Amino acid sequence: MIALPAWLPLRRGSIAVRLATSALLASSAILLIAAGILTTLYRENTERAFDSRLLVYANNLATDLVSPNDPESRSFTLSDPRFDLPLSGWYWQIGRPDAKPRDLRTSRSLVGVPLKPASQSDSKAGIGQIRQGYGKAQDERPLRIIERDVDLGEEGRYTVRVAGPADEIANDVGRFRFSLMVTFGLLGLSLALTTLLQIRFGLAPLAKLRTALGAIRRGETDRITGEYPRDIAPLAGEVNLLIETNREILERARTQVGNLAHALKTPLSIIVNEVGASDAPEDLSAKIREQAAVMRDQVNYHLDRARAAALAGTLGASTEVEPALAGLVRTFGKIYRDKAIAYEVTVPAGLRFRGERQDFEEMIGNLVDNASKWAHGRVSIRAEAVAEHDYPHLLVAIEDDGPGLAPEDRAAVLGRGRRLDETKPGSGLGLSIVADLAALYRGRFRLEAAALGGLRAVIEVPGDAPAGAAPHG
């Protein structure tokens, strides 16, 4: 296979574009070469036909030349009246090869200047052989000239030269070329349409396979179904096998994470209970309970991260954004009802997150919780699909009207467990959890200044645009 240059857009185009472009280039090259060959052959045939006409006139003149009459009394006549019209483009001339102009016998149409030998004729041609080529008349009109030598024995050698307008050949060839281009143009258009139909028909199984993979990615089905040609069927089978293997691995990972969580949380609970029931000093008990709580938070954090890492690559996992956000807003509206926060939610119907609902709620819930803690009275939540590398991504932005953060503090709060204000409740792991989960889903998380005056948290993760909607560029 021919390797295409890296800078060529065709290298990165779709298979349909590659096939259509290669077929177009090949068909165009073939049609142009065929048009050139046919035009050349037609010109040669036209020249031969034109030369045949001139040769008839030259033979008639040669016949008159070899008549037994006195050379001075010989009459040279042709039935074509164009040879009698001055500068008509049709000329004949008879004379010795070295004759002076006044000794030449010419047609009435040839006025003043004698015919010169054809520029492409073979000067070494023998007696009786035909020579032909192109020349110019005295009015610079192109001529097609044919000539032959006639040997009269004692009278010597004479040259018979007949010329006709070469533009008749050019016009005839031009009309043929125009007709050929129109015909080949219609033929090329027919070939292009036929090629497009063939490509569409031939690539239909791939389009069907792509649709099936999209359904798996959106969580509408868990495997590829349907009949495929023998060339595609093994690929569909391998993908189904990969999905099954991936599902089994993830199920084992979930089980192991759950077992580890149970194995760690149970001893921690026992330690806390035993400390509360023992006669240990109060300050020691408080310290043990505090550290146990820290350990529980850290265990939950790392177990959640391990679970998310196992699930981030799950094929078919999908979460609808609108109901998930509505549930979070209801929850935090109750938690922060004393602050009477007005939540503004903007999300198109049908927008989806390509991942587990628990992970989506974990990320967005931490951001909404953080915004609610610091907001004076307004929190804005906006979700939309954005295009990235021709694939839709989900962008969620949460803003508040709180005090905000200075640019140098925004990077600091992303550190694990780092808090800038100890007066607010929480472990300080919220934003770092969001950043880690976004990274696991190959997304991005950033903090910016909000239009409301506070902090704007923006998260971009894989998502799907609503049906019929185009993602923003």
pLDDT tier for residue 8 given thresholds of 50, 70 and 90: very low
pLDDT for 212 beyond 70: yes
Question: What is the Cβ-side half-sphere exposure of residue 216, based on CA atoms within 13 angstroms?
Answer: 20
Residue 9: Cβ-neighbour burial (10 angstroms; 0-12, 13-18, 19+): exposed
Half-sphere exposure of 12 (CA within 13 A, CB side): 6
Contact 93, 54 (CB under 8 A): no
CB 35 within 8 A of CB 179: no
d(CA 254, CA 256): 5
C-alpha distances (whole Å) from 372 to each of 42, 382, 402, 444, 458 are 85, 15, 9, 22, 15
With tokens 């595609």, the residue in question is 232
How far is the C-alpha of 335 from the C-alpha of 27, rounded, in Å? 70
Which residues neighbour 180 within 8 Å (Cβ) at sequence distance 6 or greater?
Answer: 35, 38, 39
pLDDT digits over 222-263, tens only? 788 888 888 888 888 888 888 788 777 777 777 776 677 667
What is the C-alpha to C-alpha distance for residues 206 and 39, in angstroms, rounded to an integer? Answer: 43
Q: Assign 176 a pLDDT band (cuts: 50, 70, 90).
A: very high
Catalogue the E-assigned strands of 66-169.
Answer: 91-95, 105-106, 130-136, 142-151, 157-165
Among residues 369, 373, 359, 300, the alpha carbon closest in space to that of 324 is found at 359
Cα of first residue to Cα of last residue in the chain, in angstroms, is: 35
CA 158 vs. chain centroid, Å, equals 71
Q: What is the mean pLDDT of residues 319-348?
A: 90
If we measure between CA atoms, which residue out of 415, 414, 394 comes closest to residue 455?
A: 414
Nearest of 265, 350, 358, 264 to residue 311 by alpha carbon: 358
How far is residue 351's CA from residue 320's CA, in Å, rounded to a whole number?
6
Q: Residue 243 has what pLDDT?
A: 79
- How large a percentage of the chain has pLDDT more than 70? 78
Q: What percent of the chain has pLDDT over 90?
A: 19
Closest C-alpha to 398, from 445, 465, 339, 335: 445
pTM: 0.52
Mean pLDDT of the 437-447 span: 83
How far apart CA 114 and CA 91 sit, in angstroms, is: 9
CB 385 within 8 A of CB 469: yes
Average pLDDT across the chain, whole number? 79
Closest alpha carbon to 254 in 329, 181, 193, 308: 308
